Amino acid sequence: MKKSFWIETLGCPKNKVDSEKLAGTLLVDGMSPADSPSDANLIVVNTCSFVEQAREESIETVFEYSQMRSKDVQVVVTGCLAERYGEEISHSLRDDVDAVAGFGVPVSISSKPDVSKFDLLNLPRPKREEPWAYIKIAEGCDRLCGFCAIPSFRGRQRSRSIADIREEVLSLDLQEVVLVAQDLASWARDQHDSPLGIVDLVKEINQLVPWVRLLYLYPSSLTGELVEVIANSPVPYFDLSLQHVSAPLLRKMRRWGDGERFTGIINRIRDLRPDATFRTNFIVGYPGETEADHDELIRFLEKNEIDWCGFFPYSKEPGTYAETLDGEVPDALVMERLRELGDLQDGITEKKQDSQIGSRMSVLIESKGIARSHREAPEIDGLIHVPGSLKVGSFETVVIREALGVDLKAEVHDSDYWGSDD
Ligand code: SF4
């Protein structure tokens, strides 16, 4: 009987891609996916170590699997936690797991897995049931943002070649590609002999699949050409990695920009494409964040009305520049600021959702009764509820009839009946 595997994925979309590639490798090795963790001969926990909370969740998950398994089941820990704290966790989990391995796990369940590293970027992955997929175009990052430990364990940026990315996209037979990387717009800057850049890549992928979405754009990398390519595509969605808007605080974060520049970028995009959608993230409570900085962020949100926004409490990461900074913001104050920002943003998102009622849009049916338009990135934004009769993987024109919190409800557009909506 075939040996079976279960992969538990924690963390961000980039980790999901690694898990799919790991699954592809295990399938090629002759294993099959288990229906549940209790049926598996091998359990792989693909961990996240982005912040303290993610590390705790990862360790708890490893313990849960370690305790539930029978003695002939192997448990392997991989992902960011394994990469970042490999030696420490190998030692502290030595009685609970069979291996702790960096990115890529050459797994053999007949003997202890080798703890070696290989590059997951270019491994094959199985076909997906969903009509969309994340495609990782680079690994690592060359920036030095004050709060971020990623470059210290993921290393310098390594971009995949356009041919490899193209091959992966074609092998998956998709309607939507979501390009991901730590610093997406810097794709290919590490390939000094290549004249290509992110604009060329997006144009190329746009030829292969109807929808191309880009996640995590560092604002200074958003050139006029890149803005135009995205704004003129069927997916005018801008995921801007802003982190804050106060200039002094951004300098302490070792990042570019300020609220005025960001507002300028957003306005230029909206001039080009009024239905463009924006997402961003902000860190709350970075060392030295003053009441004035916080107020500036509030005013920025009120003025720019970004569609989707995430707010994260600052997490002190070992080995980062921010760890050395004074001006720690008390936890209670961070919570209060998070609540205020969250309440404000909830109102903005609700208003944005209400404003969609009556509008007509093209959606991709991603599963039975569930669709997304250009306004919703998979797994992070809202969804659109549509009639269950619509074919998964097809594009349909719908009319939004109702807002249900962050989600919307739509009916199929009938040009005869709904002609007045035009
Ligand atoms: S660009 Fe992103 S991954 Fe790179 S250092 Fe900054 S926060 Fe970290």
Q: What is the pLDDT of residue 422?
A: 38
Q: Say yes or no: CB of residue 143 within 6 Å of ligand 1.
A: yes
Asked whether 314 lines ligand 1 (CB < 6 A), one says no
Bridge-based pairing state of the strands 308-313 and 277-284: parallel
Please give the CATH topology (third level) of the domain spanning 132-354.
Answer: pyruvate-formate lyase- activating enzyme (3.80.30)
Q: What is the mean pLDDT of the chain?
A: 90
Does 218 contact ligand 1 (Cβ within 6 A)?
Answer: yes
User: From ligand 1's centre to the CA of 127, what distance in Å?
Assistant: 30
For the segment 308-326, the average pLDDT, to the nearest whole number, is: 95
Predicted confidence (pLDDT) per residue in 1-40, tens digit:
778 999 999 988 888 888 888 888 888 888 999 999 989 9
Q: Which of 311, 262, 261 is nearest to 283 (CA)?
A: 311
Calpha distance 419→413 (Å, rounded): 9
151 lines ligand 1 (CB under 6 A): yes
Q: Residue 109: pLDDT above 60?
A: no
The residue behind tokens 């990461």 is: 317
Report whether pLDDT(418) > 50: no
CATH number listed for the domain at residues 4-100: 3.40.50.12160
Q: What is the Cα–Cα distance from 340 to 349, expressed in whole angstroms?
A: 14
Q: Whose CA is nearest to atom 3 of ligand 1?
A: 182
Please check whether the two domains, 4-100 and 360-421, share a CATH topology.
no
DSSP character at residue 324: G
Q: Which helix (H) or strand (E) is 302 found in, with range?
A: helix 291-304
- Nearest-atom number in ligand 1 for the CA of 218 is 1
Nearest CA to ligand 1 atom 2: 182
Identify the pLDDT of residue 17. 84
Task: Give domain limits for the chain.
Answer: 4-100, 132-354, 360-421
- Decide yes or no: CATH 2.40.50.140 for domain 360-421: yes
Q: Extract the runs of DSSP E, i.e. beta strands, from 152-301.
A: 158-159, 176-180, 211-214, 237-243, 277-284
pLDDT at residue 420 above 70?
A: no
55 Cα–ligand 1 center, Å: 18
Cβ count within 10 A of residue 12? 19
Residue range 124-140, pLDDT digits in tens: 677 788 999 999 999 89
Q: How far is the CA of 224 from the centre of ligand 1 (A)?
A: 22
Residues 139-181 have pLDDT tens digits of 899 999 999 998 988 889 999 999 999 999 999 999 999 999 9
Dist. CA 342 → ligand 1 center (Å): 23
| Cα-based angle 290, 292, 293 (whole degrees, multiple of 5) | 65
Work out whether strand 42-47 and strand 32-33 pair parallel, antiparallel, or are unpaired: unpaired
Q: Choose the residue to mutate in 15, 49, 183 for probing ligand 1, maximizing ligand atoms within 8 Å of C-beta.
A: 183
Condensed to tens digits (0 to 9), the pLDDT of residues 353-407 reads 999 999 999 999 999 999 999 999 999 999 999 999 999 999 999 999 999 999 9
Q: How far is the C-alpha of 403 from the C-alpha of 422, rounded, in Å?
A: 20
pLDDT above 60 for 94: yes
